[in-house]
Amino acid sequence: MIKADAYGVGAAVAARALVGAGARTFFTATFAEALSLRRTLGAAGRIFVLNGPEPETVARFEDIGAMPVLNSLAQIALWAGRGACAVHIDTGMNRLGLSPHEAGAAAERLAGAEVALVMSHLACASTPAHPMNAVQRARFMEAASVFPPAPRSLAASAGAQIGADFLFDMVRPGIGLYGAAGLDGDNPRLATVARVTAPILQVRDVAPGATFGYGATDAAAAPMRTAVAAIGYADGYPRAASSKGFAFHHGRRLPLLGRVSMDLLIFDASAAPEIRSGDTVELLGDEAHIDDVAAAAGTAPYEILTTLVGTVRRAQEAA
């Protein structure tokens, strides 16, 4: 999955790394993403566009060697008489995709066309034991049977961990490529692919009772050393992590004090007495693992990547 600028880490960088690792099939959400990806890949590699064709893009797929994922009978009609495609069956997300009862009609209308892939997407794969997974698998097998001999794909990162019965002919890893396994519990720790650091602008010693940030939501219960870092919600750091976030300085965890400001964070640096202005702290990386950062903000690793990593990376590129 290279959609959403490769989950914020940069589509071009990610695509080149994945090609080097042996990947030859890629998915984007939009045609514009596919166009950019083709420029990176050159002539090599297959590209599927998850959102399918639109009237203004349908004639351009062949030009860039991309295939649409057809999600409705209307998109099938739009694509009629053109090249290879994929078909998406909705088996329980109620998002994109043909309903299972439309599969027969879709197969008839695509008779003679090359269906390069039949796919669906699991709603509850992050909980491997959820009964919905088996329900969707059964629906998928029945609907996909009308498209022989097209390869089948049901599992993304989390689904690939449920069991061999969910792997079919292709898995579509997304978040698993970028540092998180995608499970709600017992999440295996994957290698870090993105690191966010920020410089310390000021260090100060405060007395008991001192308060921190807007609203004075936190106060020092004892003498404390604090460090102010140059990053905030304007950089994609989640405001929901106020009073719950953290940073690391040379292996020491520094709790976040008070509310997240637009471009400043205050940390309890009492555990790092050697910290100085000009030092850097890690907000995301090997120590500040993405799963822990997301949990502190009450969100998912996907959002941390696309907002925090994406915003910081683009700002650095612009500079």
pLDDT at 187: 86
| Closest to 232 (Cα-Cα) out of 266, 203, 276, 282 | 266
Residue 182 backbone class (left: φ over 0; alpha: ψ -120 to 50; beta: rest) = left
Catalytic residues: 3, 214
Q: Which domains does the chain have, with CATH numbers?
A: 3-177 (3.20.20.10), 196-318 (2.40.37.10)
Give average pLDDT by consecutive 10-residue segment, the chain, 319 residues.
97 97 97 98 96 97 97 98 97 97 97 97 97 98 97 98 97 97 90 97 98 98 98 98 98 98 98 97 98 97 97 94
Query: What is the model's pTM?
Result: 0.94
Beta strands 252-257 and 246-249: pairing type? antiparallel
- What is the helix, strand, coil percentage profile of the chain, to 5? 35, 20, 45
Task: Please report the pLDDT score of residue 185 as a whole number.
Answer: 85
Q: What tens digit of pLDDT does each residue of 31-90 get?
A: 999 999 999 999 999 999 999 999 999 999 999 999 999 999 999 999 999 999 999 999
Query: What pLDDT, on the 0 to 100 scale, is given for residue 186?
Result: 86
Q: Quote the CA–CA distance of 258 and 52 in Å, as a whole number.
A: 45
